[in-house]
């Protein structure tokens, strides 16, 4: 059963390869009928090969990310980019925890018992 | 003699096409831009087919390339089995980022694949209405496939990876990947056949109504 599927799979794979090589303008040699996959599978392969849309990210996004990567690479020339990313995370984390500690302190001060506030 | 030549040929076939660009980027990270420009659309497509939202796909694409640049020194090309190339490594990062994203947001995309890809807007390929309907039906069938099968078809037809590369991305052998793709195609074919059957029945009923 699996061997049968494997044979069919090899035929499908060769058929897809032949169609995809057409995209690269290479000579297309489709497998002869006896080695080709079943007509229904062949049909699906053609539908997907012809129709599955390919997209490109927006120009703005591509350029923005390129700039980010360039900046990271520039910094990476002075040290490993991995270290820089880790350092940014650590610094970011420290700032975030500092801010939340200050927030908690502020909340505690505002909600302190009135009597205690009167003593001040 | 023949065997030695065969071995040498297989090693040559498995040499990473991006080797020199990767080495250049290792020496000078600014050279990474060439690799980025080459693969940004492929990674974006993979993310878009999975997340079905252009902004989410852009975020994931950014994550992948930032991680790749940061981890470039950990990447090791392998000419011997299991072969590995820069492109495969990049898609492995994308797959992991996708899994993390899924775990984090704990929800799967609601938009159906055919609607999310706005097929009517993708008019770069001149297609008849019938062809577009058929593609829409095929995409709906792909949508119903388990994640690995769906990803294998996207990697094969949209990103044009071969079975060996897809196997490495999905963590399967080349043979198992070929079978996975074949079975996915059979499932889509069955669904299209079923749809065609429904269409034929509707058309016959219409014809009968018109005759009466």
Q: What is the pLDDT of residues B34-47, one digit of tens each?
A: 999 999 999 999 99
Residue B40: closest CA among B90, B109, B98: B90
Distance CA B83, CA A8 (A): 25
Searching chain A, which residue's CA lies closest to the CA of residue B193?
A40
Q: What pLDDT sits at residue B138?
A: 93
| DSSP three-state, residue B134 | helix
Q: What is the pLDDT of residue B45?
A: 95
- C-alpha–C-alpha distance, residues B25 and A4, integer Å: 45
Interatomic CA distance for residues B47 and A43, integer angstroms: 26
Displacement of CA B2 from its chain's centroid (Å): 37
Backbone angles phi, psi at B78, to 5 degrees: -130, 120
Token match 């599927």: residue?
Answer: A5
As given in the structure block, the two tokens for residue B115 are: 């609607």
Residue scoring higher pLDDT (B16 or B85):
B85
B32:A73 CB<8 A: yes
Chain B CB within 8 Å of residue A80 CB? yes
Most confident option among A35-44, B71-80, B175-184:
B175-184
Contact B69 A76 (CB under 8 A): yes
Q: Which residues pair with B44 in a beta bridge?
A: none
Question: Best of A46, A48, A89 to disrupt the B interface by mutation (most B CBs within 10 Å)?
Answer: A48
Tokens of A115: 């009597």
- Rounded Cα–Cα distance for residues B98 and B95 (Å): 5
Query: Would an 8 Å CB–CB cutoff place A101 in contact with chain B?
Result: no
Question: What pLDDT does B108 receive?
Answer: 63
Identify the pLDDT of residue A82. Answer: 52
> Which residue of A13, A18, A58, A74 is the best one to mutate when testing the B interface, meaning the one whose CB has the most B CBs within 10 A?
A13
Longest dimension (CA), chain B: 79
CB B153 within 8 A of CB A44: no
Instruction: Please report, for chain B, how many H helices and E strands are present, in that order.
Output: 10, 0
Give the pair of three-digit tokens for residue A21. Answer: 């090589």
Least confident of A5-14, A65-74, B6-15, B126-135: B6-15
Residue B110, token pair as written in the block:
């609601």
For A:9-38, CB contacts with B below 8 A are 9-10, 12-13, 16-17, 20, 23, 37-38
Contacts of A62 in chain B (CB under 8 A): 40
- Quote the minimal CA–CA distance from B68 to chain A in Å: 10
Binary contact (A9, B179; C-beta < 8 A): yes
Is the CB of A6 less than 8 angstroms away from the CB of B178? yes
Contact of A63 with chain B, judged by CB distance below 8 Å, is answered with no
For chain A, the straight-line distance linking the first and the last C-alpha, in angstroms and rounded, comes to 85
The 3-state secondary structure of A37-89 reads: CCHHHHHHHHHHHHHCCCCCCCHHHHHHHHHHHHHHHHHHHHCCHHHHHHHHH
CA dist B144 and A102 (Å) reads 50
> How far B62 CA lies from chain A's nearest CA (Å)?
6
The token pair at B142 is 């792909």
pLDDT higher than threshold 80 for residue A104: no
- pLDDT per position as a tens digit, B61-79: 999 999 999 999 888 766 5
């Amino acid at each position: 059963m699996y061997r049968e599927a494997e044979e069919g799979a090899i035929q499908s794979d060769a058929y897809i390869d032949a169609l995809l090589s057409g995209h690269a303008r290479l000579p297309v040699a489709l497998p002869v009928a006896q080695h080709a996959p079943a007509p229904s599978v062949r049909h699906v392969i053609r539908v997907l090969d012809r129709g599955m849309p390919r997209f490109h990210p927006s120009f703005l996004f591509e350029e923005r990310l390129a700039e980010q990567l360039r900046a990271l690479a520039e910094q990476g020339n002075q040290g490993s980019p991995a270290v820089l990313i880790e350092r940014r995370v650590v610094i970011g984390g420290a700032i975030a925890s500092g801010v939340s500690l200050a927030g908690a302190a502020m909340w505690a001060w505002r909600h302190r018992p009135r009597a205690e506030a009167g003593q001040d | 003699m023949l065997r030695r030549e065969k071995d040498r040929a297989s090693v040559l076939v498995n040499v990473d096409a991006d080797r020199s660009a990767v080495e250049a980027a290792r020496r000078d990270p600014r050279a990474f831009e060439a690799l980025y420009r080459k693969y940004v659309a492929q990674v974006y497509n993979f993310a878009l087919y999975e997340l079905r939202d252009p902004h989410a796909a852009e975020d994931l694409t950014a994550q992948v390339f930032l991680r790749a640049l940061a981890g470039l020194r950990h990447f090791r090309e392998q000419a011997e089995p299991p072969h590995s190339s820069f492109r495969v490594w990049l898609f492995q990062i994308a797959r992991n980022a996708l899994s993390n994203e899924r775990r984090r947001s704990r929800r799967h995309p609601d938009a159906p694949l055919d609607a999310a890809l706005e097929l009517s807007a993708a008019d770069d390929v001149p297609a008849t209405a019938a062809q577009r309907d058929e593609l829409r039906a095929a995409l709906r069938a792909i949508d119903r496939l388990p994640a690995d099968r769906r990803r294998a078809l996207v990697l094969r037809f949209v990103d044009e990876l071969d079975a060996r590369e897809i196997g490495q991305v999905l963590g399967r052998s080349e043979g198992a990947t070929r079978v996975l793709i074949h079975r996915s195609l059979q499932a889509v074919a069955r669904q299209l056949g079923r749809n065609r059957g429904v269409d034929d029945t509707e058309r016959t009923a219409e014809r009968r109504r018109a005759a009466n």
